Amino acid sequence: MSTSVSVNTYTYSVTFVADNVQRTLKDIIVQSGLDPTKYVNSWKSINLALTTWMQSKHLKTIILEIFNPKDDTLVGRWDIEISYGWSSSDTGSFWIDTDQIKTAIRKCGAVPSSCSYQIMFQNSPGHAEVDGWSDGKLRSTDGFVKQSLGSTVEHSGLGANASYYRKKA
């Protein structure tokens, strides 16, 4: 008699990456000087969207827009792009780089405490609907330069690459 055990390692990769993307977003919000209350109150909804769309491989980018609520203009933006290089043979490879985020925030500086923020998702066509999420319009990045930080989170090839927008000098 033999016994076999099967594990869906892709699901573990999705969980690891989703949890650490959420942690990264929280760190950006807090370290930028913004109030995390709105984000913390949306934690479950954000996690459901992340895991649903990563599991189906429809999620392309998570966007954190920081804006001036008085005139609705962009103050800063963070993009976390998902890469689907997952491989079942690449087990045990997992990491997160929080230092690069901290360094980038120090370069950008804190944002005015009067700023607000929102999380948005870009998905490929055919994605499932998730309660609480719908299409929205991104604010213009005219006058900003995109700075890539490279890989931020990875688990067996499923990864997240961070970048931020800063005002042109």
From residue 144, give the alpha-carbon distance in Å to each of 15, 77, 80. 32, 9, 17
pLDDT over 60 (residue 66): yes
Burial class for 48, CB neighbours closer than 10 Å (0-12, 13-18, 19+): middle
Q: Which domain holds residue 154?
A: 9-167
CB atoms within 10 A of CB 18: 27
Q: Give the CATH number for residue 87.
A: 3.30.900.10
In a domain, 94, yes or no: yes
In a domain, 1, yes or no: no
Which one has a higher pLDDT value, 70 or 1? 70
In a domain, 143, yes or no: yes
pLDDT over 50 (residue 119): yes
Q: List beta partners, residue 162.
A: 80, 150
For the chain, give the mean pLDDT. 89
Q: What pTM was estimated for this model as a whole?
A: 0.89
Handedness of CA 51, 79, 124, 140 (dihedral sign): positive
Structural domains counted in the chain: 1
Give the mean model confidence (pLDDT) for residues 12-33. Answer: 93
Which residue carries 């299409």 as its tokens? 135
In a domain, 4, yes or no: no
